[in-house]
Amino acid sequence: MNQMRKRFLQELLAPMPVVWPVFSGLLGVMIGLGLLVSYLEGWRLLDGVYFAFVTGLTVGYGDLTPTLPASRIAAIAIGFAGILFSALLAAIGVRALQEAARKPHAENHSRERELP
């Protein structure tokens, strides 16, 4: 099982050079909009970042709620960015798991062909 974890981690990190700009862009949008909401609502900066992640990950505790129309529109944008972020992360994880599970089978089949 340790080999499977190692292959999974390798497959998970393999697309990061390509995907990292998208990840960092989505994180930047979420944090930036969270800071904007905190400024507009008069919250502390850390509360704005907290709000962005709670909203973006669709948890929505409800302890911080924007009241201004501009803040609510920013919250909607945070939600969309968070959904995209979560979906991309899930897609990469599923692909990595599929590739990690497929490789041992491919190696076993190639060994079987080599045997006389």
10: closest CA among 95, 84, 107?
A: 95
* pLDDT for position 23: 93
CA distances from 99 to 10, 23, 77, 115 (A): 10, 21, 33, 25
The two three-digit tokens of residue 46, written as one number:
């850390």
Residues 31-61 pLDDT 10s? 999 999 999 999 999 999 999 999 999 898 9
From 83, 67, 68, 70, select the one nearest 30 (Cα to Cα): 83
Q: Class of the 20-114 domain?
A: mainly alpha
Predicted local distance difference test score (pLDDT) of residue 102: 87
The residue ranges of every structural domain in the chain are: 20-114
Check pLDDT > 80 for residue 1. no
Residues 100, 91, 37, 24: is their CA dihedral positive or negative?
A: positive
pLDDT at 69 over 70: yes
Q: Residue 28 — pLDDT band, cuts 50, 70, 90?
A: very high
User: pLDDT digit string (tens) for 83-112?
Assistant: 999 999 999 999 999 998 887 665 555 555
